[in-house]
Amino acid sequence: MVLSHTRRTHPATAMALPFMTPSPGINYNFVAGSYLVCSLILVVLLALDKFLHVEAVEGSWVVFAPFLPCLAWALVIRSKWLATGGGSSSSSTSTSTSNHVKDD
């Protein structure tokens, strides 16, 4: 049953989920980098626990386990963000010349 107030959209647009589209104002390089660091901590703690059998870190890797799927999500969103030109804007680093006083 098709409702009369719904619009027909492209199938790819209809499948777009809000959490799978980049939000404006967010630097996804930073987000992906943060998740990468935490994922590396996960790998180190997992190696210490499972391969080197260090009792001091036993089970600690579980805390960092959610960062691995988050890293995958961030890399997908980052690629979409870069495709739309998100990484090329330098608005956060630009300075305004109207705030400077000119000495004569």
4-57 tens-digit pLDDT:
555 555 555 556 788 899 999 999 999 999 999 999 999 999 999 999 999 999
Q: Is residue 18 part of a domain?
A: no
Count structural domains, the chain: 1
What span, in angstroms and rounded, lies between the C-alpha atoms of 61 and 50? Answer: 10
Domain of residue 38 covers: 24-85
Alpha-carbon dihedral angle through residues 59, 38, 65, 19, given to the nearest 10 degrees: 160
| Whole-model pTM over 0.75 | no
The residue with greater pLDDT, 49 or 96, is 49
pLDDT band at 70 (very low <50, low <70, confident <90, very high): very high
Q: Are 78 and 32 in contact (CB under 8 A)?
A: yes
Smallest CA-to-CA distance from 80 within 23, 38, 31, 25 is with 23
Is 39 part of a structural domain of the chain? yes
